[in-house]
Amino acid sequence: MGGQLQAVERRVITMNNNINETQYFGRTGKEPENEAKRILISVSTALREKGYNPVNQIVGYILSGDPTYITSYLNARAMIRKLERDELLEELVKDYLDRNE
């Protein structure tokens, strides 16, 4: 892999043109295993060490896309920008559901 993340294509598939139908959001291609989780943990550690609240800062980044919510300490800003924000959000929701189902 050489430090580079494999691109993962995301797509929304309309199951039907009817507004009442559910759309499917899925992935094509292979995603690096646990890369989003590893990055979130590393970024959280860097934020905490610099005295920031990791939850507030990561939420700010995901909602706005503004990388200045993430410290550059320990290369956290560069790491989090390797992933799309929807990948980060997906990892957070997946982890939450896994812990609470």
Inform me whether the pLDDT recorded for 5 exceeds 50: no
Q: First vs last Cα of the chain: how many Å apart?
A: 34
Compute the mean pLDDT over every residue in the chain, rounded to the nearest whole number: 83
pLDDT tens string 10-55: 555 444 556 777 776 665 555 555 899 999 999 999 999 999 999 9
Of residues 87 and 10, more confidence is placed in: 87
Report how far residue 22's alpha carbon sits from residue 13's, in angstroms, rounded to the nearest whole number. 9
What's the confidence (pLDDT) of residue 12? 52
What mean pLDDT is predicted for residues 56-82?
A: 98
Report how far residue 64's alpha carbon sits from residue 38's, in angstroms, rounded to the nearest whole number. 22
Which tokens sit at 57? 């800062």
pTM: 0.70
Report how far residue 34's alpha carbon sits from residue 32's, in angstroms, rounded to the nearest whole number. 6
